[in-house]
Structure 1
Amino acid sequence: MTPAGAVVRRETLRAQIADALRDEILAGRLAAGQHITVGEIAEQYGVSATPVREALVDLSAQGLLDVEQHRGYRVHAFTLDDYRAMTDARTVVQLGVFRGDPPHVVDPAPAALTAMRRRGEEAERAAKAGDLDVLVHYDLRFWREITGLIGNDYISEFLERVRVHCWVFAVPYLRGASEDCVPGTFWQGHMRLVEAIERRDVAAAEEVVRTYNRHSLELIERLAGG
Protein backbone atom coordinates (compact mmCIF):
# COMPACT_ATOMS: atom_id res chain seq x y z
CA MET A 1 0.00 0.00 0.00
CA THR A 2 1.38 3.42 -0.94
CA PRO A 3 2.00 5.74 2.04
CA ALA A 4 -0.35 8.74 2.10
CA GLY A 5 2.60 11.14 2.19
CA ALA A 6 3.97 9.75 -1.06
CA VAL A 7 0.65 10.35 -2.81
CA VAL A 8 0.51 13.93 -1.56
CA ARG A 9 4.06 14.63 -2.69
CA ARG A 10 3.43 13.15 -6.12
CA GLU A 11 0.18 15.07 -6.63
CA THR A 12 1.84 18.24 -5.39
CA LEU A 13 4.75 17.78 -7.82
CA ARG A 14 2.32 17.18 -10.68
CA ALA A 15 0.44 20.37 -9.82
CA GLN A 16 3.66 22.37 -9.35
CA ILE A 17 4.94 21.35 -12.79
CA ALA A 18 1.57 22.10 -14.40
CA ASP A 19 1.45 25.52 -12.70
CA ALA A 20 5.03 26.32 -13.72
CA LEU A 21 4.39 25.39 -17.35
CA ARG A 22 1.11 27.29 -17.38
CA ASP A 23 2.99 30.36 -16.15
CA GLU A 24 5.54 29.89 -18.95
CA ILE A 25 2.73 29.73 -21.51
CA LEU A 26 0.99 32.76 -19.99
CA ALA A 27 4.23 34.73 -20.09
CA GLY A 28 4.81 33.78 -23.73
CA ARG A 29 8.09 32.03 -22.95
CA LEU A 30 6.51 28.84 -24.25
CA ALA A 31 5.20 30.20 -27.52
CA ALA A 32 2.18 29.14 -29.56
CA GLY A 33 3.09 26.18 -31.74
CA GLN A 34 6.21 25.30 -29.73
CA HIS A 35 6.87 21.56 -29.46
CA ILE A 36 7.66 20.05 -26.05
CA THR A 37 8.29 16.51 -24.86
CA VAL A 38 8.05 14.73 -21.53
CA GLY A 39 11.77 14.06 -21.59
CA GLU A 40 12.91 17.65 -22.07
CA ILE A 41 10.54 18.97 -19.41
CA ALA A 42 11.63 16.25 -16.97
CA GLU A 43 15.26 17.16 -17.60
CA GLN A 44 14.55 20.88 -17.26
CA TYR A 45 12.93 20.47 -13.85
CA GLY A 46 15.11 17.59 -12.67
CA VAL A 47 12.20 15.22 -12.01
CA SER A 48 10.99 11.84 -13.23
CA ALA A 49 8.84 11.45 -16.31
CA THR A 50 5.66 10.39 -14.49
CA PRO A 51 4.63 13.72 -12.85
CA VAL A 52 5.64 15.57 -16.02
CA ARG A 53 3.48 13.30 -18.17
CA GLU A 54 0.57 13.82 -15.77
CA ALA A 55 1.08 17.61 -15.76
CA LEU A 56 1.10 17.73 -19.57
CA VAL A 57 -2.12 15.71 -19.68
CA ASP A 58 -3.67 18.24 -17.28
CA LEU A 59 -2.58 21.18 -19.44
CA SER A 60 -3.91 19.44 -22.52
CA ALA A 61 -7.28 19.03 -20.77
CA GLN A 62 -7.19 22.78 -20.04
CA GLY A 63 -6.83 23.52 -23.76
CA LEU A 64 -3.30 24.89 -23.47
CA LEU A 65 -1.48 21.99 -25.17
CA ASP A 66 -2.28 19.87 -28.21
CA VAL A 67 -1.29 16.20 -28.24
CA GLU A 68 0.97 15.15 -31.10
CA GLN A 69 0.70 11.39 -31.49
CA HIS A 70 4.04 9.69 -30.66
CA ARG A 71 5.78 13.08 -30.69
CA GLY A 72 4.81 14.85 -27.50
CA TYR A 73 2.85 18.07 -27.19
CA ARG A 74 2.58 21.43 -28.90
CA VAL A 75 1.50 24.71 -27.28
CA HIS A 76 -1.98 25.46 -28.60
CA ALA A 77 -2.18 28.36 -31.05
CA PHE A 78 -5.26 30.51 -30.55
CA THR A 79 -6.46 32.77 -33.35
CA LEU A 80 -7.91 36.26 -33.37
CA ASP A 81 -11.31 34.73 -34.13
CA ASP A 82 -10.86 32.52 -31.06
CA TYR A 83 -10.11 35.63 -29.02
CA ARG A 84 -13.22 37.39 -30.30
CA ALA A 85 -15.36 34.35 -29.47
CA MET A 86 -13.79 34.01 -26.02
CA THR A 87 -14.35 37.68 -25.25
CA ASP A 88 -17.98 37.36 -26.29
CA ALA A 89 -18.46 34.25 -24.13
CA ARG A 90 -16.73 35.95 -21.21
CA THR A 91 -19.03 38.96 -21.46
CA VAL A 92 -22.21 36.86 -21.60
CA VAL A 93 -21.26 34.73 -18.60
CA GLN A 94 -19.93 37.64 -16.53
CA LEU A 95 -23.11 39.63 -17.05
CA GLY A 96 -25.10 36.52 -16.16
CA VAL A 97 -23.19 36.32 -12.88
CA PHE A 98 -24.36 39.79 -11.89
CA ARG A 99 -27.91 39.01 -12.91
CA GLY A 100 -28.10 35.79 -10.91
CA ASP A 101 -30.90 35.05 -8.52
CA PRO A 102 -29.88 35.82 -5.87
CA PRO A 103 -27.11 38.13 -7.16
CA HIS A 104 -24.35 36.85 -4.83
CA VAL A 105 -21.66 38.95 -6.48
CA VAL A 106 -23.22 42.20 -5.34
CA ASP A 107 -23.60 41.08 -1.73
CA PRO A 108 -20.13 39.91 -0.68
CA ALA A 109 -18.93 39.19 2.83
CA PRO A 110 -16.51 41.80 4.27
CA ALA A 111 -13.54 39.41 4.04
CA ALA A 112 -14.30 38.67 0.39
CA LEU A 113 -14.58 42.37 -0.39
CA THR A 114 -11.23 43.02 1.31
CA ALA A 115 -9.53 40.30 -0.75
CA MET A 116 -11.16 41.59 -3.94
CA ARG A 117 -10.03 45.12 -3.20
CA ARG A 118 -6.46 44.01 -2.53
CA ARG A 119 -6.22 42.10 -5.81
CA GLY A 120 -7.87 44.97 -7.68
CA GLU A 121 -5.42 47.53 -6.29
CA GLU A 122 -2.44 45.38 -7.29
CA ALA A 123 -3.83 44.75 -10.77
CA GLU A 124 -4.59 48.42 -11.31
CA ARG A 125 -1.13 49.44 -10.10
CA ALA A 126 0.49 46.98 -12.52
CA ALA A 127 -1.75 48.19 -15.38
CA LYS A 128 -0.73 51.81 -14.79
CA ALA A 129 2.95 50.83 -14.67
CA GLY A 130 2.69 48.68 -17.80
CA ASP A 131 4.01 45.66 -15.83
CA LEU A 132 2.49 42.85 -17.87
CA ASP A 133 3.68 39.87 -15.81
CA VAL A 134 2.32 41.30 -12.57
CA LEU A 135 -0.87 42.45 -14.26
CA VAL A 136 -1.67 38.99 -15.63
CA HIS A 137 -1.07 37.42 -12.22
CA TYR A 138 -3.27 39.81 -10.27
CA ASP A 139 -5.92 40.21 -12.96
CA LEU A 140 -6.53 36.44 -12.87
CA ARG A 141 -6.65 36.48 -9.07
CA PHE A 142 -8.98 39.50 -9.07
CA TRP A 143 -11.58 37.86 -11.30
CA ARG A 144 -11.16 34.59 -9.40
CA GLU A 145 -12.17 36.41 -6.22
CA ILE A 146 -15.27 37.83 -7.92
CA THR A 147 -16.51 34.65 -9.57
CA GLY A 148 -15.79 32.71 -6.40
CA LEU A 149 -18.54 34.69 -4.68
CA ILE A 150 -21.31 32.88 -6.49
CA GLY A 151 -20.32 29.48 -5.14
CA ASN A 152 -20.72 27.76 -8.52
CA ASP A 153 -17.57 25.85 -9.45
CA TYR A 154 -18.73 25.23 -13.03
CA ILE A 155 -19.03 28.95 -13.77
CA SER A 156 -15.82 29.81 -11.91
CA GLU A 157 -13.83 27.14 -13.76
CA PHE A 158 -15.26 28.18 -17.13
CA LEU A 159 -14.40 31.85 -16.62
CA GLU A 160 -10.93 30.99 -15.32
CA ARG A 161 -10.26 28.87 -18.40
CA VAL A 162 -11.49 31.59 -20.77
CA ARG A 163 -9.49 34.30 -19.02
CA VAL A 164 -6.31 32.22 -19.16
CA HIS A 165 -6.85 31.50 -22.87
CA CYS A 166 -7.45 35.20 -23.55
CA TRP A 167 -4.21 36.18 -21.83
CA VAL A 168 -2.27 33.42 -23.63
CA PHE A 169 -3.32 34.88 -26.97
CA ALA A 170 -2.95 38.53 -25.97
CA VAL A 171 0.40 38.51 -24.17
CA PRO A 172 2.66 38.06 -27.24
CA TYR A 173 0.97 41.02 -28.96
CA LEU A 174 1.25 43.14 -25.83
CA ARG A 175 4.94 42.26 -25.50
CA GLY A 176 5.46 43.12 -29.14
CA ALA A 177 4.03 46.61 -28.71
CA SER A 178 6.47 49.45 -28.28
CA GLU A 179 7.28 50.45 -24.71
CA ASP A 180 5.81 53.88 -25.31
CA CYS A 181 2.39 52.51 -26.18
CA VAL A 182 2.00 49.88 -23.44
CA PRO A 183 1.89 51.90 -20.18
CA GLY A 184 -1.56 53.39 -19.84
CA THR A 185 -3.15 51.19 -22.51
CA PHE A 186 -4.13 48.38 -20.15
CA TRP A 187 -7.59 48.50 -18.63
CA GLN A 188 -7.48 50.08 -15.17
CA GLY A 189 -11.06 49.78 -13.94
CA HIS A 190 -10.62 47.05 -11.35
CA MET A 191 -11.44 49.35 -8.44
CA ARG A 192 -14.49 50.78 -10.22
CA LEU A 193 -15.89 47.27 -10.31
CA VAL A 194 -15.10 46.70 -6.63
CA GLU A 195 -16.85 49.96 -5.74
CA ALA A 196 -19.91 49.02 -7.82
CA ILE A 197 -20.10 45.66 -6.05
CA GLU A 198 -19.67 47.35 -2.68
CA ARG A 199 -22.58 49.70 -3.51
CA ARG A 200 -24.62 46.71 -4.73
CA ASP A 201 -25.02 48.57 -8.02
CA VAL A 202 -25.68 45.85 -10.59
CA ALA A 203 -26.05 48.25 -13.53
CA ALA A 204 -22.72 49.94 -12.78
CA ALA A 205 -20.98 46.58 -12.38
CA GLU A 206 -22.35 45.39 -15.71
CA GLU A 207 -21.17 48.56 -17.44
CA VAL A 208 -17.67 48.10 -16.04
CA VAL A 209 -17.61 44.52 -17.35
CA ARG A 210 -18.78 45.62 -20.81
CA THR A 211 -16.19 48.40 -20.89
CA TYR A 212 -13.42 46.02 -19.85
CA ASN A 213 -14.23 43.42 -22.49
CA ARG A 214 -14.73 46.04 -25.22
CA HIS A 215 -11.41 47.70 -24.33
CA SER A 216 -9.58 44.36 -24.33
CA LEU A 217 -10.96 43.34 -27.71
CA GLU A 218 -10.28 46.69 -29.37
CA LEU A 219 -6.72 46.79 -28.04
CA ILE A 220 -5.84 43.28 -29.19
CA GLU A 221 -7.53 43.70 -32.58
CA ARG A 222 -5.48 46.84 -33.12
CA LEU A 223 -2.20 45.18 -32.06
CA ALA A 224 -2.97 42.04 -34.08
CA GLY A 225 -3.84 44.11 -37.12
CA GLY A 226 -7.36 42.70 -37.10
Structure 2
Amino acid sequence: MDSGDTRSLRLPNYGGRTSLRELVAEALRALLISGQMRPGEIYSAPSLAAEFGVSATPVREAMLDLVTEGLVEVVRNKGFRVTQLSDAELDAMAELRVLIEPPIMGLVAEGCVGDTAVAVEGLRPLADEIALAAEREDLVSYIEADTEFHLRFLAIHGNDEVVKVVRRLRRRSRLYGLTALLGTGVIRRQVAEHTEMVERALARDRLGMEKLVAQHIGHVRSAWAGRH
Protein backbone atom coordinates (compact mmCIF):
# COMPACT_ATOMS: atom_id res chain seq x y z
CA MET A 1 0.00 0.00 0.00
CA ASP A 2 1.40 3.39 -0.94
CA SER A 3 -0.10 5.45 1.87
CA GLY A 4 -2.88 5.64 4.42
CA ASP A 5 -3.76 3.43 7.36
CA THR A 6 -5.73 0.28 6.64
CA ARG A 7 -4.90 -1.78 9.67
CA SER A 8 -6.54 -5.16 10.21
CA LEU A 9 -7.43 -5.74 6.58
CA ARG A 10 -9.31 -8.99 6.16
CA LEU A 11 -11.95 -10.58 3.98
CA PRO A 12 -15.17 -11.23 5.93
CA ASN A 13 -17.64 -14.01 5.32
CA TYR A 14 -20.63 -12.65 3.39
CA GLY A 15 -23.02 -15.57 3.60
CA GLY A 16 -23.73 -17.04 0.20
CA ARG A 17 -21.49 -14.70 -1.75
CA THR A 18 -18.64 -16.60 -3.39
CA SER A 19 -17.06 -13.93 -5.61
CA LEU A 20 -13.68 -12.84 -4.29
CA ARG A 21 -14.12 -9.60 -6.20
CA GLU A 22 -17.35 -8.95 -4.30
CA LEU A 23 -15.78 -9.81 -0.95
CA VAL A 24 -12.89 -7.43 -1.60
CA ALA A 25 -15.26 -4.68 -2.77
CA GLU A 26 -17.36 -4.93 0.40
CA ALA A 27 -14.26 -4.86 2.61
CA LEU A 28 -12.93 -1.82 0.73
CA ARG A 29 -16.27 -0.04 1.07
CA ALA A 30 -16.16 -0.61 4.82
CA LEU A 31 -12.64 0.82 4.97
CA LEU A 32 -13.75 3.83 2.94
CA ILE A 33 -16.87 4.45 5.00
CA SER A 34 -14.98 4.07 8.27
CA GLY A 35 -12.43 6.63 7.10
CA GLN A 36 -9.50 4.20 7.30
CA MET A 37 -8.89 4.81 3.59
CA ARG A 38 -8.50 8.57 3.45
CA PRO A 39 -9.55 11.10 0.79
CA GLY A 40 -6.70 12.15 -1.48
CA GLU A 41 -4.60 9.10 -0.64
CA ILE A 42 -3.50 6.82 -3.49
CA TYR A 43 -3.71 3.04 -3.09
CA SER A 44 -2.31 0.49 -5.52
CA ALA A 45 -4.04 -2.80 -6.26
CA PRO A 46 -0.87 -4.89 -5.67
CA SER A 47 -0.27 -3.28 -2.26
CA LEU A 48 -3.89 -3.77 -1.19
CA ALA A 49 -3.78 -7.34 -2.49
CA ALA A 50 -0.72 -8.05 -0.36
CA GLU A 51 -2.54 -6.72 2.71
CA PHE A 52 -5.59 -8.88 1.96
CA GLY A 53 -3.52 -11.91 1.08
CA VAL A 54 -5.05 -12.31 -2.38
CA SER A 55 -3.95 -11.72 -5.97
CA ALA A 56 -4.06 -8.24 -7.47
CA THR A 57 -6.71 -9.09 -10.08
CA PRO A 58 -9.82 -9.26 -7.82
CA VAL A 59 -8.61 -6.17 -5.96
CA ARG A 60 -8.18 -4.22 -9.20
CA GLU A 61 -11.62 -5.38 -10.38
CA ALA A 62 -13.17 -4.39 -7.04
CA MET A 63 -11.54 -0.97 -7.16
CA LEU A 64 -12.97 -0.44 -10.66
CA ASP A 65 -16.40 -1.23 -9.21
CA LEU A 66 -15.79 1.51 -6.63
CA VAL A 67 -14.79 3.89 -9.44
CA THR A 68 -18.24 3.46 -11.00
CA GLU A 69 -19.78 4.26 -7.59
CA GLY A 70 -17.73 7.46 -7.32
CA LEU A 71 -15.84 6.26 -4.23
CA VAL A 72 -12.39 6.27 -5.85
CA GLU A 73 -10.85 7.54 -9.07
CA VAL A 74 -8.14 6.10 -11.30
CA VAL A 75 -4.69 7.70 -11.11
CA ARG A 76 -2.80 6.64 -14.22
CA ASN A 77 0.22 4.41 -13.55
CA LYS A 78 -0.21 4.80 -9.78
CA GLY A 79 -3.44 3.26 -8.58
CA PHE A 80 -6.65 4.67 -7.14
CA ARG A 81 -7.30 7.86 -5.21
CA VAL A 82 -10.08 8.06 -2.62
CA THR A 83 -12.49 10.82 -3.63
CA GLN A 84 -13.20 13.75 -1.34
CA LEU A 85 -16.75 14.57 -0.26
CA SER A 86 -17.64 18.08 0.83
CA ASP A 87 -19.64 18.89 3.94
CA ALA A 88 -22.46 19.98 1.62
CA GLU A 89 -22.51 16.56 -0.05
CA LEU A 90 -22.50 14.77 3.31
CA ASP A 91 -25.31 17.03 4.54
CA ALA A 92 -27.31 16.28 1.40
CA MET A 93 -26.95 12.52 1.93
CA ALA A 94 -27.94 12.83 5.58
CA GLU A 95 -30.97 14.90 4.57
CA LEU A 96 -32.05 12.25 2.09
CA ARG A 97 -31.69 9.53 4.70
CA VAL A 98 -33.82 11.52 7.16
CA LEU A 99 -36.52 11.90 4.51
CA ILE A 100 -36.50 8.17 3.71
CA GLU A 101 -35.59 6.06 6.72
CA PRO A 102 -37.66 7.37 9.68
CA PRO A 103 -41.05 7.08 7.93
CA ILE A 104 -40.22 3.64 6.51
CA MET A 105 -39.01 2.36 9.87
CA GLY A 106 -42.10 3.89 11.43
CA LEU A 107 -44.30 1.90 9.07
CA VAL A 108 -42.43 -1.29 10.00
CA ALA A 109 -43.11 -0.52 13.67
CA GLU A 110 -46.77 0.25 13.04
CA GLY A 111 -47.30 -3.12 11.33
CA CYS A 112 -45.04 -5.13 13.62
CA VAL A 113 -47.15 -8.26 14.12
CA GLY A 114 -46.89 -11.84 12.89
CA ASP A 115 -44.10 -12.42 10.37
CA THR A 116 -42.99 -8.80 10.60
CA ALA A 117 -42.43 -9.13 14.33
CA VAL A 118 -40.47 -12.34 13.75
CA ALA A 119 -38.27 -10.58 11.17
CA VAL A 120 -37.65 -7.65 13.53
CA GLU A 121 -36.77 -9.97 16.40
CA GLY A 122 -34.33 -11.67 14.05
CA LEU A 123 -32.34 -8.44 13.87
CA ARG A 124 -31.42 -8.55 17.55
CA PRO A 125 -28.27 -10.70 16.98
CA LEU A 126 -27.06 -8.11 14.45
CA ALA A 127 -27.54 -5.35 17.02
CA ASP A 128 -25.43 -7.42 19.42
CA GLU A 129 -22.82 -7.93 16.70
CA ILE A 130 -22.57 -4.17 16.19
CA ALA A 131 -21.99 -3.71 19.92
CA LEU A 132 -19.30 -6.40 20.01
CA ALA A 133 -17.49 -4.90 17.01
CA ALA A 134 -17.50 -1.49 18.68
CA GLU A 135 -16.16 -3.02 21.88
CA ARG A 136 -13.35 -4.69 19.92
CA GLU A 137 -12.74 -1.40 18.08
CA ASP A 138 -13.10 -3.35 14.83
CA LEU A 139 -14.23 -0.63 12.42
CA VAL A 140 -14.66 -2.86 9.39
CA SER A 141 -16.89 -5.35 11.22
CA TYR A 142 -18.78 -2.46 12.82
CA ILE A 143 -19.58 -0.91 9.44
CA GLU A 144 -20.51 -4.28 7.90
CA ALA A 145 -22.88 -5.23 10.72
CA ASP A 146 -24.35 -1.72 10.95
CA THR A 147 -25.05 -1.62 7.21
CA GLU A 148 -26.65 -5.07 7.21
CA PHE A 149 -28.81 -4.17 10.22
CA HIS A 150 -30.25 -1.02 8.67
CA LEU A 151 -30.77 -2.46 5.20
CA ARG A 152 -32.47 -5.59 6.55
CA PHE A 153 -34.69 -3.46 8.79
CA LEU A 154 -35.76 -1.32 5.84
CA ALA A 155 -36.25 -4.43 3.67
CA ILE A 156 -38.95 -5.65 6.06
CA HIS A 157 -41.17 -2.90 4.65
CA GLY A 158 -41.00 -4.62 1.26
CA ASN A 159 -39.87 -1.73 -0.96
CA ASP A 160 -36.68 -2.86 -2.71
CA GLU A 161 -36.12 0.57 -4.25
CA VAL A 162 -35.86 2.15 -0.79
CA VAL A 163 -33.20 -0.39 0.16
CA LYS A 164 -31.24 0.28 -3.04
CA VAL A 165 -31.28 4.05 -2.51
CA VAL A 166 -30.20 3.83 1.13
CA ARG A 167 -27.47 1.32 0.23
CA ARG A 168 -26.07 3.81 -2.30
CA LEU A 169 -26.21 6.65 0.22
CA ARG A 170 -24.45 4.59 2.87
CA ARG A 171 -21.75 3.47 0.43
CA ARG A 172 -20.95 7.09 -0.41
CA SER A 173 -20.84 8.23 3.21
CA ARG A 174 -17.69 8.67 5.27
CA LEU A 175 -17.26 8.34 9.03
CA TYR A 176 -14.04 10.27 9.48
CA GLY A 177 -14.53 10.75 13.20
CA LEU A 178 -15.49 7.18 14.05
CA THR A 179 -12.01 6.05 15.09
CA ALA A 180 -11.84 8.74 17.76
CA LEU A 181 -15.32 7.84 19.00
CA LEU A 182 -14.60 4.17 19.64
CA GLY A 183 -14.66 3.40 23.35
CA THR A 184 -16.49 6.64 24.17
CA GLY A 185 -19.98 7.33 25.47
CA VAL A 186 -20.90 8.73 22.07
CA ILE A 187 -20.39 5.44 20.24
CA ARG A 188 -22.04 3.51 23.07
CA ARG A 189 -25.14 5.68 22.64
CA GLN A 190 -25.18 5.06 18.89
CA VAL A 191 -24.73 1.32 19.43
CA ALA A 192 -27.52 1.15 22.01
CA GLU A 193 -29.92 2.79 19.56
CA HIS A 194 -29.91 -0.34 17.39
CA THR A 195 -31.38 -2.49 20.15
CA GLU A 196 -33.79 0.33 20.95
CA MET A 197 -35.02 0.29 17.34
CA VAL A 198 -35.88 -3.38 17.71
CA GLU A 199 -37.73 -2.65 20.94
CA ARG A 200 -39.64 0.32 19.48
CA ALA A 201 -40.75 -1.80 16.54
CA LEU A 202 -41.90 -4.68 18.72
CA ALA A 203 -43.82 -2.16 20.84
CA ARG A 204 -45.45 -0.87 17.61
CA ASP A 205 -44.33 2.64 18.54
CA ARG A 206 -44.39 4.34 15.15
CA LEU A 207 -43.77 7.90 16.34
CA GLY A 208 -41.09 6.81 18.78
CA MET A 209 -39.35 4.87 16.02
CA GLU A 210 -39.42 7.81 13.63
CA LYS A 211 -37.92 10.10 16.26
CA LEU A 212 -35.24 7.56 17.21
CA VAL A 213 -34.14 6.89 13.61
CA ALA A 214 -33.93 10.62 12.83
CA GLN A 215 -31.86 11.09 15.99
CA HIS A 216 -29.63 8.17 15.01
CA ILE A 217 -28.94 9.60 11.56
CA GLY A 218 -28.09 12.93 13.20
CA HIS A 219 -25.50 11.18 15.35
CA VAL A 220 -24.05 9.49 12.28
CA ARG A 221 -23.80 12.80 10.41
CA SER A 222 -21.82 14.23 13.30
CA ALA A 223 -19.45 11.27 13.03
CA TRP A 224 -19.11 11.83 9.28
CA ALA A 225 -17.70 15.28 10.00
CA GLY A 226 -15.70 14.23 13.02
CA ARG A 227 -18.06 16.20 15.26
CA HIS A 228 -19.45 14.76 18.51
Q: TM-score range by the shorter chain?
A: 0.7 to 0.9
Task: Quote the Cα distance in structure 2 between the aligned partners of 1:12 and 1:163.
Answer: 22
1:6 is aligned to: none
Deviations 1:127-164 (A, max 9, x none): 5x483625433322210220121233321122123224
Gaps of 5+ in 1: 1-10
Counterpart secondary structure, 2:81: strand
Q: Give the deviation of 1:92 after TM superposition.
A: 0.5
Cα pair 1:35 1:74 within 8 Å, conserved: yes
1:184 is aligned to: 185
Query: In the superposition, relative to structure 1, how do residues 41 and 214 fare at CA in structure 2: closer, same or farther (>3 Å)?
Result: closer
**Equivalent position amino acid for 2:185 in 1:** G
Q: Give the deviation of 1:50 after TM superposition.
A: 4.1
Query: In the superposition, relative to structure 1, how do residues 125 and 44 fare at CA in structure 2: closer, same or farther (>3 Å)?
Result: closer
1:155 is aligned to: 162
Larger Rg: 1
TM-score (norm 1): 0.73
**Number of corresponding residues:** 204
Cα pair 2:103 2:210 within 8 Å, conserved: no
**Equivalent position amino acid for 2:205 in 1:** D
TM-score (norm 2): 0.73
Gaps of 5+ in 2: 1-17
Counterpart secondary structure, 1:109: helix
Match of 2:39 among 32, 36, 42: 32
Task: Quote the Cα distance in structure 2 between the aligned partners of 1:32 and 1:218.
Answer: 18
Q: Give the deviation of 1:44 after TM superposition.
A: 4.9
Aligned counterparts, 1:1-226, within 5 A: 12-42=19-49, 44-45=51-52, 49-68=56-75, 71-98=78-105, 103-104=107-108, 106-107=111-112, 109-124=116-131, 129=135, 131=137, 133=139, 134-166=141-173, 169-170=174-175, 172-176=176-180, 182-186=183-187, 187=190, 188-218=192-222, 221=225, 223-224=226-227
Task: Quote the Cα distance in structure 2 between the aligned partners of 1:79 and 1:43.
Answer: 31
Deviations 1:192-226 (A, max 9, x none): 211221122211110111211233334555x459x
Q: Which deviates more from structure 2 when the two are superposed, residues 106-115 or residues 85-94?
A: 106-115
Query: In the superposition, relative to structure 1, how do residues 119 and 47 fare at CA in structure 2: closer, same or farther (>3 Å)?
Result: closer
- Superposition CA RMSD, Å: 3.1
